[in-house]
A and B are shown apart, each in its own frame.
Chain A
Amino acid sequence: MIYENTPIKSSNKTLKRGKTKEKIISKILMVLASISILTTIGIIVILSKETFLFFQEISIKDFLTGTEWTALFANPKFGVLPLVLGTLMIAIYGSIVAIPVGLGSAIYLSEYASDKTRKIVKPLLEILAGIPSIVYGYFALTFITPILKKFFPDINVFNALSASIAVGIMIIPMISSLSEDAMKAVPDEIRQGAYALGATKFEVSTKVVIPAALSSIISSFVLAISRAIGETMIVTLAAGSTPRLTLNPLESVQTMTSFIVQVASGDVTHGGLIYKTIFAVGMLLFLITLLMNIIARMIIKKYREEY
């Protein structure tokens, strides 16, 4: 710190006042910076407290292994598996849409497209990422579902497939943009070396660039799936609210997030069992997405190629 030792004695008083002011400012900024930590602590404390109270009424074993979720019925059962399965189903079918399209676009933008094309296409793809999820929910309900109905006449109005497709479209830009960044970061010398050996663009892309960027590409998949798991408005609008143990995408299902919204949209008395249920399901959702984000970071850290 260069300035701290500056020996200016003539204006001792102003310097002193300046120093106190500096100290106060640095303390204020530190307090502001700690708000992010307080937020995390807040999330954990609030979720844990109500979850703990929830588990005083419902056993953890019944919650985690039960296959029936009828929380809002007169005789409620709290087996969370149908919600978890509904969530996973939408995340998995969504990734089946998003991963090939996202990765394909990343390869195209990074390896095949001209600079001019990339300059136009990339911002357009980013628009897709900036569209609010409520809009995708509307799109799933009013556009995707009617089209699906033509192919599958007995499909439910609220179905997992429609929601999965919309969730998939929503996470395409996340995969394509993160993967493209990773592929762009692969040094050009390696590519040129392969071209010098007579490799085609296909061979360079699949045998040189993708393997070199693989850790970041995979972590982009994990992050996108994590995003799909936490996605709320699309599934609330399009997937329905029927918690059931099924892998049939034509049926109506309920996810963890859409259950939380369903409860919150109704009349919840603060402190009641249903109120606590929101927090227990929210805790599970928080832990699953946190775990996936940690995994994504570990993949990058462990397998990162250094150039």
Chain B
Amino acid sequence: MNNLKKRKIIDRFFHGLVFCTTSFALIVLFILLFDIFKDGTKWLSLDFFTNFTSRFIEKAGIKAAITGSIWVIFVTIIFSFPIGVGTALYLEEYSDDKSLLTRIIKLNISNLAGVPSIVFGILGLGIFVNTLGFGRSILSGGLTLTLLILPIIIVSAQEAIKSVPKELRYGAYALGITKWQVIKGVVLPYSLPGILTGSILAIARALGETAPLIMIGAVTFIAFTPESIFDKFTTLPMQIYNWSTMPQAEFHDLAAGGIIVLLILLLGANAISIILRNKYQSRIKG
């Protein structure tokens, strides 16, 4: 009995311990959010969104950073979505699992997912900025982020395509239509919510990336909105970085203001993907 008591005490102690570690992680999350909102909310006014960055704290805003982020993300979506979904379609629908090419592509995608983002920045600097001559432009930034998030989009699109029931495909084939017609008419519409969910999360990731864009040479002191993809740019995370490195503490609070905007955008993207996922799941059940 004594032994049993001891074992039960150990169990209870362990339960407390793992509960504490979980709580620790959550408490850190709340402290982090609280700290940022405490520092940053006082800057959130309309002027903050309509002013360019400035050496004078009161006049500094995120207009260039927000428009720059929108431009870069736009380029990223245009390239990453078709390439990612196309690759997933090839891997799931057209390729033979035993073929060497397929295995190389799959292994390669999982390796790319583990490459540090700054290495993609170095790649972007070497290829897009210097070799292809796109310069330190929105195009270079968007293409670099495209390569960075491709593995995430491909893998999530593969999952979504895999989840299309075989019966639906066979039913379509039985009508005598071609493979592409099956994909266009059955596979894609059915898996689209799943594909979008994964893509939105991947694009949210791109929206928060800083390091690769520093390599591209996004300039932080920009007091104009870009007009074409060949323009120089700055993005929201870049602007936050720039303000965080300033010696004056007031600029740090300005950075916190930028972080709030960034986090709201990211949480919004997450919320959209959750709503999509829920809709999607209920459709499978139905």
- Closest beta carbon of chain B to A79's beta carbon, Å: 21
Q: Which residues of B contact A18 (CB under 8 A)?
A: 178
The segment from A61-69, A70-78, A135-143, A244-252 found at the interface with B is: A135-143
Q: Which residues of A sit under 8 angstroms from B83, Cβ to Cβ?
A: 32, 35
> How many A-B residue contacts, CB cutoff 8 Å?
268
Task: Determine which of B17, B176, B204, B252 lies in contact with A104 in the assembled complex, contact meaning CB atoms within 8 Å.
Answer: B17
Interface contact A143-B108, CB-CB below 8 Å? no
Q: Are A290 and B179 in contact (CB under 8 A)?
A: no
Cα A116 to Cα B20 in complex, Å, equals: 18
B7-37 vs A: 1/0 string, CB under 8 Å? 1101100110111111011101101100110
Cα-based distance from A282 to B125 in the complex (angstroms):
12
When chains A and B are docked, how far (Å) is the Cα of A32 from the Cα of B89? 10
State the CA gap A201–B12 with chains docked (Å).
9
**Residues 117-146 of B contacting A (Cβ, < 8 Å):** 117-123, 125-127, 130-131
**Stretch of A38-46, A148-156, A186-194 on the interface side:** A38-46
Q: Which residues of A1-35 have CB atoms within 8 Å of chain B's CB atoms?
A: 1-3, 6, 8, 18-19, 21-22, 25-26, 28-30, 32-35
Q: Is the CB of B126 within 8 A of A260?
A: no
B170 within 8 A of A: yes
Can you sample 29 A-B contacts with CB below 8 Å? A22-B180, A30-B90, A33-B95, A36-B112, A40-B108, A40-B112, A42-B126, A43-B123, A46-B126, A47-B122, A101-B21, A105-B22, A108-B22, A121-B26, A124-B29, A130-B205, A132-B262, A134-B210, A134-B237, A137-B241, A137-B244, A141-B244, A143-B35, A206-B14, A230-B115, A230-B117, A237-B241, A289-B119, A293-B111
**B286 contacts partner chain A, Cβ-Cβ < 8 Å:** no
Q: Which 7 A-B pairs have the closest CB atoms?
A: A230-B116, A104-B21, A132-B208, A32-B86, A46-B126, A108-B18, A293-B114
Interface residues of B (CB under 8 A from A): 7-8, 10-11, 14-15, 17-22, 24-26, 28-29, 31-32, 35-36, 39, 82-83, 86-87, 89-91, 93-95, 104-105, 108-112, 114-123, 125-127, 130-131, 147, 150-151, 154, 170, 173-174, 176-180, 201, 204-205, 208-211, 214-215, 217, 237, 240-241, 244-245, 252, 255-256, 259, 262-263, 266-267, 270
Interface of B is mostly: helix
What is the bound-complex CA distance between A241 and B116, given in angstroms?
20
B-facing residues in A111-140 (Cβ within 8 Å): 111-113, 121, 124-125, 127-128, 130-139
A residues near B (Cβ < 8 Å) are 1-3, 6, 8, 18-19, 21-22, 25-26, 28-30, 32-37, 39-40, 42-43, 46-47, 49-50, 100-105, 107-109, 111-113, 121, 124-125, 127-128, 130-139, 141-143, 169, 172-173, 176, 200-203, 205-206, 223, 226-227, 229-233, 236-237, 257, 260-261, 264-265, 270, 278-279, 282, 285-286, 289-290, 292-294, 297
Contact B208 A142 (CB under 8 A): no
Q: With A33-B90, A232-B116 known to touch, is A201 a contact of B22 (CB < 8 Å)?
A: no
Q: Output the residue of B15, B31, B131 with the most chain A CB within 10 A.
A: B15
The reply to whether A101 and B263 form a contact with Cβ atoms under 8 Å apart is: no
